[in-house]
Amino acid sequence: MSSLEFTEAVAQRLEAVYITPDVVEQRCRTLRAMNLRPGERVLDIGSGPGLLAKDIAASVGAEGAVVGVDMSAPMTTIARRRCEAFAWSRFEVADATLLPFDDASFDVGVATQVYEYVTDIPAALAELHRVIRPGGRVVIVDTDYDSWVVHTSDAERFARVRTAWDAHFVHAGLPRILIPELRKAGFAVLAQEVIPMFNTEYHPNTYSYGMVQFVADFAAADANVGPEEANAWKADLEQLGERGEFFYSLNRYLFVAQRPA
């Protein structure tokens, strides 16, 4: 198993992770970085279940527009339902490297946790540059998985679980090269910041709780881990949580860039 399939069931589980306070804070910081104005046209690449798109729609108002694209049809269906009250929103199944829009169609573009799954980063950023108007801006958020720190009773077991999980990314360390790649694509980089996902408690209303379940399920299908070892890793974290010894930290990186006028 080397990829994460965004089926209806997976989409619903991810949605539960996306409404935890940790990810809500990430969305708030992303929205602030976008600095939206009423009437702007916004492209949300990898719009997922539409949580960010809904906030965008409320920010730009009926004189603006938000268009979401995602490779997952189930995610797109959820997003349409979530944003059905906003007539100026729409969602399409599309590839980040082949956006079905005219040149300079949007004032703002945003992509959160998307490009780490895209094989051809230059092509994706070139497409983003093409559809953003001169003077328009973009916000990109991705994770560097070398920043993933988990307290565990068995470091070697965690290393195997982590290797299995890393296999579903194309660019697990994308933030390290994103600034030069944005510049090569023709963008001017304006700002950057770190968004930590940091939990010291293990309970359902945290980012880490949901992700531990995802990682364990994914690793269970890996030949070098298997169900027994994946479940033992998850059980160990649960026990550490019960003893007040849980520690989970992961850094996401936000970049603001502009297509020069």
Q: Report pLDDT digits (tens) over 158-175.
A: 999 999 998 888 999 999
pLDDT, position 15: 81
What does the pLDDT read at residue 13?
75
Could you tell me the pTM of the whole model?
A: 0.93
User: At 2, is the pLDDT very low, low, confident or very high (cuts 50, 70, 90)?
Assistant: very low
At 13-37, the pLDDT tens digits run 778 888 899 999 999 999 999 999 9
In a domain, 244, yes or no: no
Query: What mean pLDDT is reported for the chain?
Result: 94
Range of the domain at 111: 8-143+169-197+249-258
In a domain, 81, yes or no: yes
User: What string of DSSP letters covers 126-156?
Assistant: HHHHHHEEEEEEEEEEEE-GGG-EE--S-HH
Q: Residue 4 has what pLDDT?
A: 54
**Terminal CA-CA length for the chain:** 44
Instruction: Flag whether pLDDT at 81 surpasses 70.
Output: yes
pLDDT value for 169: 87
- At 29 the pLDDT is 98
Please tell me the predicted confidence (pLDDT) of residue 76. 93
Position 154 scores a pLDDT of 96
Given a cut of 90, whether residue 108 has pLDDT beyond it is: yes
Question: Is residue 224, in this structure, part of any structural domain at all?
Answer: no
For the ranges 42-56, 119-133, 158-172, which has the lowest average pLDDT? 158-172
Average pLDDT over residues 109-126: 96
230, part of any domain: no
| In the predicted structure, residue 55 carries a pLDDT above the cut 70 | yes
Task: Let me know if residue 46 belongs to a domain.
Answer: yes
Count of domains forming the chain: 1
Residues 6+ apart with CB under 8 A from 61: 38, 39, 88
Buried b / exposed e over 222-246, threshold 16 CB at 10 Å, is beebeeebbebbbebbeebbeeeeb
Residue 62 lies in a domain: yes
User: Tell me, what's the pLDDT at 5?
Assistant: 59
Find the mean pLDDT for residues 49-60.
97
Segment 55-75 shows an average pLDDT of 96
Residue 188 resides in a domain: yes
55 inside domain: yes
Question: CATH number, domain at 76?
Answer: 3.40.50.150
What is the average pLDDT across 132-149? 97
Confidence (pLDDT) at 1: 39
